[in-house]
A and B are shown apart, each in its own frame.
Chain A
Amino acid sequence: MRELLEGSKAVAKTIAFCRPKVISAYPITPQTHIVEELAQFVAEGKLKAEFVRAESEFGAASIVLGASQRGVRTYTATSSQGLLLMTEVLFNIAGLRLPVVLTCANRALSAPINIWNDWQDALTLRDSGWVMFFGENLQEVVDFHILAYKIAEKLNLPVMVNMDGFLLTHTAEVVEIPEEKLIEKFLGPFKPSLFLDPKNPKTFGFLADPDYYQEFRLALHQDLLEGLKKIVELTQKFNKFFGRNLKLIEGYNLKKAETVFVTMGSLEGTVKTLIDDLKSKKIGLIGIKLFRPFPTKIFAKLINPSIKRLIVLNKAVSLGVEGILTSEIKRAIFGKRIEIKDEILGLGGRDIKREDLIKLI
Chain B
Amino acid sequence: MNGKIKSYMKKDLLAPGHRACAGCGQVIAARAVINALGKNTIVVGATGCLEVVTTPYPFSAWKVPYIHSLFENAAAVASGIEAALRAQKLDKRINVAVFAGDGGTVDIGFRALSGMFERGDNVLYVCFDNEAYMNTGIQASGSTPWGAWTTTTPVGKFSFGARQAKKNMIAFAVSQGLLYVASTTAGYPLDIKMKVQKALEFYGPKYLHILVPCPVGWGYDSNLTIEVGRLAAQTGHFPVIEVIEGKITKVLKTPAKRPKISSYLKLQKRFAHLFKTKEGKKQIDHLQKMADENIEVIGLCPTCEEHEILTHYESVDNLNIQ
Per-residue contact bits, chain B 140-159, to A (CB 8 Å; 1 contact, 0 not): 00000000000000000000
A62 to B76, CA, bound (A): 5
A167 to B216, CA, bound (A): 58
Which residues of B sit under 8 angstroms from A203, Cβ to Cβ?
55, 60, 62, 65-68
B57 at the interface (CB under 8 A from A): yes
Which residues of A sit under 8 angstroms from B69, Cβ to Cβ?
62, 65-66, 89, 92, 96, 205
B222 at the interface (CB under 8 A from A): no
How many chain B residues touch the partner (CB < 8 A)? 44
A196 with B76: CB separation less than 8 A: no
Q: A66-B78, A196-B81 are in contact. Are A72 and B67 (CB under 8 A)?
A: no
Residues 135-178 of B at the A interface (beta carbon under 8 Å)? none
Which residues of B sit under 8 angstroms from A66, Cβ to Cβ?
44, 67, 69, 76-84
Which one of B41, B60, B86, B87 has the highest number of Cβ atoms from chain A below 10 Å of its Cβ?
B87
Per-residue contact bits, chain B 61-102, to A (CB 8 Å; 1 contact, 0 not): 011111111101100111111111111100000100000000
Per-residue contact bits, chain B 91-129, to A (CB 8 Å; 1 contact, 0 not): 000100000000000000001101100110000000000
B42 at the interface (CB under 8 A from A): yes
Min CB gap A154→B, angstroms = 21
User: Which chain A residue lies CB-closest to B72?
Assistant: A58
B57 with A50: CB separation less than 8 A: no
Which residues of A sit under 8 angstroms from B111, Cβ to Cβ?
55-56, 58-59
A124 to B76, CA, bound (A): 24
A24 at the interface (CB under 8 A from B): yes
B73 with A58: CB separation less than 8 A: yes
Which residues of B sit under 8 angstroms from A52, Cβ to Cβ?
79-80, 83, 119
A247 at the interface (CB under 8 A from B): no
Q: A52-B119, A205-B67 are in contact. Are A89 and B57 (CB under 8 A)?
A: no
A58 to B143, CA, bound (A): 24
B3 at the interface (CB under 8 A from A): no
User: Which chain B residue lies CB-closest to A59?
Assistant: B76
Per-residue contact bits, chain A 64-98, to B (CB 8 Å; 1 contact, 0 not): 11111111101000000000000011001000100
- Which listed residue (A22, A205, A208) contacts B80, Cβ 8 A? A22
- Which listed residue (A54, A70, A92, A212) contacts B58, Cβ 8 A? A212
A80 to B260, CA, bound (A): 55
A22 with B87: CB separation less than 8 A: yes
B64 with A198: CB separation less than 8 A: yes
User: Which chain B residue lies CB-closest to A56?
Assistant: B111
Which residues of A sit under 8 angstroms from B44, Cβ to Cβ?
66
User: Which chain B residue lies CB-closest to A211?
Assistant: B57
B51 at the interface (CB under 8 A from A): yes
Which residues of B sit under 8 angstroms from A204, Cβ to Cβ?
66-68
Min CB gap B32→A, angstroms = 19
A63 at the interface (CB under 8 A from B): yes
Which residues of A sit under 8 angstroms from B55, Cβ to Cβ?
203, 205-207
Q: A55-B111, A203-B62, A206-B57 are in contact. Are A63 and B83 (CB under 8 A)?
A: yes
A335 at the interface (CB under 8 A from B): no
A64 to B80, CA, bound (A): 6
User: Which chain A residue lies CB-closest to B118?
Assistant: A55
A62 to B67, CA, bound (A): 12
A110 to B206, CA, bound (A): 38
A209 to B59, CA, bound (A): 12
Which residues of A sit under 8 angstroms from B39, Cβ to Cβ?
198, 201
A-B contact pairs, 23 of them (CB 8 A): A22-B84, A24-B80, A49-B87, A50-B87, A55-B111, A56-B111, A58-B73, A59-B115, A62-B112, A63-B76, A63-B79, A66-B69, A66-B80, A69-B67, A70-B80, A71-B84, A89-B73, A198-B41, A198-B64, A205-B45, A207-B55, A209-B57, A212-B57
B56 at the interface (CB under 8 A from A): yes
A50 with B73: CB separation less than 8 A: no
Min CB gap A98→B, angstroms = 10
Which residues of A sit under 8 angstroms from B290, Cβ to Cβ?
none
